């Protein structure tokens, strides 16, 4: 009698059901929801999705996958843009989005302890009454766990740092189910290898984050936003360079190119803006400090031909502006009905930013593709959204080709292929180019030590 031998993953699923019950799903719909993020990778269905609620459940799930050699991919809100949550080798998608407890908030120490499924918005809603906030803001409805795993940042990083600077410690489940605690509650420490920073940005390849201790910040007494338009990209970028060199502590300084401004005007009804390179700014501090900062930047902008410097302290105007900024991606892809977008994530030394942006824009124009640029320019990071027709395979290939050229230009200018989105599937080919073979070998060695069976998010970051 011939029987199909049981697959290792079936044994894992059966054992998971023993303690998760109906929180293990093999339905088509749930598997499809966990087949990729907001990226453009071809979806892969996991064999099952396990909705975990405690560290112990995560630990048991990993121990099972380790025992049976079954791949496991941690899943949060699924907002990754680089294929991180696509289970390319199938196996288990471990959904942590139900782990949403805010376990501690310490007002005196301005820190908190949370579970990884807590979103940025949820945390800030919780904190508001206590006069504190968590500043790292990628602009999407991502979870804090996912932000840690991908080393996220966003518009506020120029002032408050990325998630790397705002995590005090982690609880992490290792590949075999062991639980470790990294970092601690002290604000700084010189106490052994910095496992916290090693795990931040490791994209689920070294362990699964089950708790995060975050630094919090006091809500500034005053905030104001400003908009300023420029005759060309170089004028806008040079305004940023001088602003940064002057040590003005801008909270946000974002560049939109003329095409992106046009898209936002249409999508977000931003009256009064011309389709020319534009800076969106925000200032945090005391009322006097905010006024002084805004006036200083206004003077620098005027020196560079900036026009119509308009600043607003009311929450409504500020919210409208930053909503438009956060919707920039949707504004861009709405330029052409039915199109979708590939988003680049190059980050260069700021002195090369104008060259990177202007060159990448010219490359796009030469290719005949429509692109829009938004940038966290205080950090030298910009995103070029490349529009493509999802029903045109040749057009998609052309879009990827442009993406590779933009990255190559960024690397040639001393930059990185990823300022904040991570490597995932999409940027693997650049990792060795950027770091060199020896440094990559060290990274592989670390991976091998943490995950000898290669079960943790296999196929990501490294090309095999």
Q: Is 343 among the residues that bind its own copies (CB under 8 A)?
A: no
Q: Is 188 among the residues that bind its own copies (CB under 8 A)?
A: yes
Of the candidates 83, 90, 77, the residue with the CA atom closest to the CA atom of residue 31: 90
Q: What is the rounded distance in angstroms from the CA atom of residue 351 to the CA atom of residue 241?
A: 7
Q: Is 427 among the residues that bind its own copies (CB under 8 A)?
A: yes
Task: Sort strands 132-133 and 217-218 into parallel, antiparallel or unpaired.
Answer: antiparallel
Q: Residue 46 or 169: which CB sits closer to its own copies?
A: 169
Fill in the per-residue mask, 396 to 415: x = in contact with its own copies (CB under 8 A), - = not in contact. Answer: ------------------xx
Q: Is 41 among the residues that bind its own copies (CB under 8 A)?
A: no
Size of the site for its own copies (CB under 8 A): 94
Q: Is 220 among the residues that bind its own copies (CB under 8 A)?
A: yes
The least CB distance from residue 27 to its own copies, in Å, is 33
Q: What is the rounded distance in angstroms from the CA atom of residue 406 to the CA atom of residue 417?
A: 9
Q: Is 449 among the residues that bind its own copies (CB under 8 A)?
A: yes
Backbone Cα Rg of the chain:
23
Q: Is 214 among the residues that bind its own copies (CB under 8 A)?
A: no
Stretch that binds its own copies, among 41-49, 227-235, 243-251, 314-322 (CB under 8 A): 243-251
Residue 21 backbone zone (phi > 0: left; psi -120 to 50: alpha; other: beta): left
Q: Residue 33 or 153: which CB sits closer to its own copies?
A: 153
Task: Sort strands 48-51 and 92-95 into parallel, antiparallel or unpaired.
Answer: parallel
Q: Which two tokens stand for residue 94?
A: 């471990």
Is residue 172 within 8 Å of residue 199, measured between CB atoms? yes
Binder of its own copies out of 39, 47, 57, 111 (CB under 8 A): 111
C-alpha torsion sign, points 348, 223, 306, 331: positive
Burial 145-173 (b: 16+ CB within 10 A, else e): bbbbbbbbbbbbbbbbebbbebbbbbbbb
Stretch that binds its own copies, among 64-72, 253-261, 332-340, 347-355 (CB under 8 A): 347-355
Q: Is 129 among the residues that bind its own copies (CB under 8 A)?
A: no
Residues 135-154 touching its own copies, rule: CB under 8 A, are 150-153
Q: Residue 187 or 266: which CB sits closer to its own copies?
A: 187
Reduce the DSSP state of residue 26 to 3 states and report it: coil
- Length of the chain in residues, anyone? 464
Our CA angle for 152, 158, 162, nearest 5°, is 25
Q: Residue 114 or 258: which CB sits closer to its own copies?
A: 114
Q: Is 292 among the residues that bind its own copies (CB under 8 A)?
A: yes
Binder of its own copies out of 67, 100, 101, 106 (CB under 8 A): 106
Binder of its own copies out of 134, 230, 280, 450 (CB under 8 A): 450
């Amino acid at each position: 009698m011939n029987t199909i031998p049981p697959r290792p993953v079936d044994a894992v699923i059966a054992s998971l059901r023993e303690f998760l019950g109906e929180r293990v799903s093999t339905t088509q719909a749930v598997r499809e929801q966990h087949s990729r993020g907001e990226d453009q990778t071809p979806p892969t269905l996991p064999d099952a999705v396990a909705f975990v609620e405690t560290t112990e459940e995560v630990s048991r799930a990993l121990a099972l996958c380790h025992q049976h050699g079954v791949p496991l991919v941690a899943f949060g809100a699924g907002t990754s843009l680089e294929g991180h949550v696509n289970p390319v080798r199938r196996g288990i998608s471990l959904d942590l989005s139900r782990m949403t407890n805010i376990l501690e908030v310490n007002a005196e120490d301005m820190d908190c302890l949370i579970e990884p499924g807590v979103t940025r918005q949820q945390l800030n809603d919780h904190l508001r009454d206590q006069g504190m906030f968590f500043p790292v803001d990628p602009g999407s409805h991502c979870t804090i766990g996912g932000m840690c795993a991908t080393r996220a940042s966003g518009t506020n990083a120029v002032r408050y740092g990325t998630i790397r600077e705002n995590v005090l410690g982690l609880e992490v489940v290792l590949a075999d189910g062991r639980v470790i605690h990294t970092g601690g509650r002290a604000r700084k420490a010189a106490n052994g290898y910095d496992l916290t920073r090693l795990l931040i940005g490791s994209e689920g390849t070294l362990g699964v984050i089950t708790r995060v201790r975050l630094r919090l910040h006091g809500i500034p007494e005053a905030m104001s936003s400003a908009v300023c338009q420029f005759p060309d990209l170089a004028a806008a970028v040079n305004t940023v360079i001088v602003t940064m060199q002057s040590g003005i502590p801008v909270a946000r300084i974002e560049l939109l190119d003329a095409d992106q401004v046009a898209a936002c005007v249409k999508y977000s009804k931003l009256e009064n803006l011309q389709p020319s390179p534009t800076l969106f700014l925000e200032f945090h501090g005391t009322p006097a400090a905010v006024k002084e900062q805004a006036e200083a930047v206004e003077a620098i902008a005027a020196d560079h031909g900036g026009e119509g410097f308009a600043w607003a302290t009311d929450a409504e105007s500020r919210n409208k502006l930053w909503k438009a900024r956060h919707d920039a991606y949707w504004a861009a892809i709405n330029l052409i009905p039915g199109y979708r977008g590939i988003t680049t994530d190059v980050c260069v030394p700021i002195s090369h930013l104008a060259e990177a942006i202007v060159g990448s824009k010219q490359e796009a124009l030469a290719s005949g593709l429509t692109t829009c640029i938004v940038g966290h320019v205080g950090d030298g990071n910009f995103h070029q959204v490349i529009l493509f027709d999802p029903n045109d395979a040749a057009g998609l290939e052309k879009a990827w080709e442009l993406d590779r050229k933009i990255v190559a230009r960024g690397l040639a200018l001393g930059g990185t292929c990823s300022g904040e989105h991570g490597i995932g599937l999409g940027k693997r080919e650049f990792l060795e180019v950027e770091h060199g073979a020896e440094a990559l070998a060290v990274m592989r060695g670390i991976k091998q030590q943490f995950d000898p069976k290669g079960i943790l998010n296999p196929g990501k970051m490294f090309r095999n």
